[in-house]
Structure 1
Amino acid sequence: MQEPTIPEDEVARQRDLDQLNIVDTPADPQIDALLRLAQRLFQARTVLVTLLDGDRQWFKGRRGMSLAETPRKISFCAHAIQDEAIMEVPDARLDPRFRDNPLVQGEPYIRFYAGIPLHGPDGYRVGTFCVIDGSPRQLSDEQRQSMRDFARLIDGQFNIQQLRLSLQGLQRELKDARRRALLDPLTQLWNREGLQQMLPGYVRSAQREELLVGFIYADLDRFKAINDDLGHGVGDEVLIEVGQRLSAAIRPQDLAIRLGGEEFGVLALVSSHDQLAVIAERIRQAIRSDRVAIEEHRLQVTISLGTAVMHADDVDEGGELIDLADQALYCAKQAGRDCVMRG
Structure 2
Amino acid sequence: MNVPPISSSLLRTGVANVSSEEERLEALRAYRILDTSPEEDFDALTRLAAYICGTPISLVSLVDSDRQWFKSSYGLGVSETPREYSFCQYAMVSGGVYEVENATNDPLFRDNPLVTNDPNIRFYAGAPLITPTGQPLGALCAIDTQPRNLTDAQRDALKTLAREVVSHLELRRARLQLEQERAKLEGLLRMANDTAASLYSNGRTELFVKQDHKLVRVCAADISYVEALGDYVNIYVGTERYTVYTTMKDMLTRLSPRDFVRVHRKYIVRLDRIVTIDGDSLVVDGGRASSVPIGNSYKQDLMGRLNLV
AA at the equivalent of 1:155: V
Mapping for residues 296-307 of structure 1, pairs under 5 Å: none
AA at the equivalent of 2:101: P
Q: Higher helix proportion, which one?
A: 1
AA at the equivalent of 1:98: F
TM-score (norm 1): 0.48
Mapping for residues 206-225 of structure 1, pairs under 5 Å: none
Q: 1:121 offset after TM fit, Å?
A: 4.5
- Using CA pairs under 8 Å that are at least 6 residues apart, name the structure with larger relative contact order, 1 or 2: 1
Where does the alignment leave 5 or more consecutive residues of structure 2 unmatched?
Answer: 10-19, 184-309
AA at the equivalent of 2:7: I
**2:15 pairs with 1:4:** no
Q: 1:166 offset after TM fit, Å?
A: 3.0
Mapping for residues 146-225 of structure 1, pairs under 5 Å: 146-169=157-180
Q: Which residue pairs with 1:42 in the alignment?
A: 53
Conserved in 2, the CA contact under 8 Å of 1:7 and 1:82? Answer: no
**2:25 pairs with 1:14:** yes
SS at match of 1:154: helix
AA at the equivalent of 1:20: Y
Q: 1:142 offset after TM fit, Å?
A: 0.7
**2:59 pairs with 1:58:** no
- After TM superposition, which residue ranges in structure 1, 4 or more long, deviate above 6 angstroms? none
Over 3 Å counting, the alpha-carbon distance change for 1:119 and 1:82 in structure 2 is closer
1:203-242 CA distance string (max 9 Å, x none) = xxxxxxxxxxxxxxxxxxxxxxxxxxxxxxxxxxxxxxxx
Q: Which residue pairs with 1:283 in the alignment?
A: none
**2:39 pairs with 1:28:** yes
Distance in 2 separating the partners of 1:113 and 1:61: 16
Conserved in 2, the CA contact under 8 Å of 1:31 and 1:154? Answer: yes
AA at the equivalent of 1:40: Y
Q: Higher strand proportion, which one?
A: 2
**2:91 pairs with 1:90:** no
Q: 1:164 offset after TM fit, Å?
A: 2.4
**2:113 pairs with 1:67:** no
Choose which of 105, 112, 125 in structure 2 pairs with 1:114: 125
Q: 1:169 offset after TM fit, Å?
A: 4.2
TM-score (norm 2): 0.53
Distance in 1 separating the partners of 2:96 and 2:24: 17
For the aligned residue pairs, the C-alpha RMSD in angstroms reads: 2.3
Q: Which residue pairs with 2:111 in the alignment?
A: 100
Q: Percent identity?
A: 42
Q: Which residue pairs with 1:208 in the alignment?
A: none
Q: Which residue pairs with 1:123 in the alignment?
A: 134
Distance in 2 separating the partners of 1:122 and 1:27: 25
Conserved in 1, the CA contact under 8 Å of 2:92 and 2:130? Answer: no
Conserved in 1, the CA contact under 8 Å of 2:128 and 2:159? Answer: no
Distance in 1 separating the partners of 2:135 and 2:52: 27
AA at the equivalent of 2:41: Q
Q: 1:5 offset after TM fit, Å?
A: 2.5
Where does the alignment leave 5 or more consecutive residues of structure 1 unmatched?
Answer: 173-343
Conserved in 2, the CA contact under 8 Å of 1:16 and 1:122? Answer: no
Conserved in 2, the CA contact under 8 Å of 1:20 and 1:121? Answer: no
Distance in 2 separating the partners of 1:75 and 1:38: 19
Distance in 2 separating the partners of 1:25 and 1:43: 28
SS at match of 1:61: strand
Q: 1:83 offset after TM fit, Å?
A: 2.3
Distance in 1 separating the partners of 2:91 and 2:49: 19
How many pairs align? 174
1:130-150 CA distance string (max 9 Å, x none) = 000000000111111111111
